[in-house]
A = this chain, B = another copy of it.
Amino acid sequence: MMPLSDNTSPAPKRPKGELARERLKSAAIALLDRVGYHQLRVKDITAEAGVAAGLFHHYYNGLDALIDEILEDHLAAFEATEQIERDVSKGDWFSRLRSHYRVAVQAHAAHPGIMRCIDQFCVDDPAFRARWQASYNRRLKLLAAVFPYVFPNSDLNEHEVNLVVHALSGIGQEVLRTRYIERNADLLALGLSEDELAEWLAALFYRGLFACNPPRRVLNHADRILSLKR
């Protein structure tokens, strides 16, 4: 399971080859929505792509190289939308959270297989694990960094802030995993749109962060959560 980083996956030299290579990648992505990373077989991918088994190794150095490339693409996409978010997030805190969760919900809805694969691949490939955790932690630190401004009277030290941020991030992680990967019946039964779910998650995060409900006026869908208080 040696981490091959970008390595020497042979590149196609003609449009036709380019196409075949893409077809293999798409086939793998499609399959990941149906089976886990450890169930994935080279033969299944080539079958799904409609090419001979041997062609796979003409374009990829092995399953891990392909997976790594797929996940790397998505990691790059995340980082890109994160940039966008910074602009969006000039607004109030609740809007920032909501727009953040919109992106996260969309990612899970569009590619549940890839999101699941990230977790699985992290266990096996130390190099990818390092990159993914670094990316995730960096995003959390972004939030942790503004704590002193949001809570000028806070007594928490840096590490405690990190604990809080990690904890709150679990709210979205768990719901998205349960809803889109596990496809839990209860959460499916809610029938929430992606925007609605994003708002609920933002509201729940907000409560954990500020120990109070978000103001009613910012809520479009999840205002019933306001009734949850002592």
Q: A residues engaging B (CB < 8 A)?
A: 1, 36, 38-39, 116, 119-120, 123-124, 133, 137, 150-151, 153-156, 159-160, 162-164, 166-175, 178, 182, 184, 186-187, 189-190, 200-201, 204, 207-213, 224-225, 227-230
* Of A163, A169, A173, A229, most B-chain CB atoms within 10 Å: A163
Question: Within 8 Å CB of A207, what residues of B?
Answer: 207-208, 211
Report if A164-B224 is in contact (Cβ < 8 Å); known contacts: A170-B171, A211-B211: no
**In this complex, what residue of B is CB-closest to A116?**
B123
Which applies to chain A's interface (DSSP): helix, strand, loop or mixed?
A: helix
A167 with B159: CB separation less than 8 A: no
Complex copy number for this chain:
2
A168 with B171: CB separation less than 8 A: yes
Report if A171-B208 is in contact (Cβ < 8 Å); known contacts: A159-B189, A186-B162, A224-B156: yes
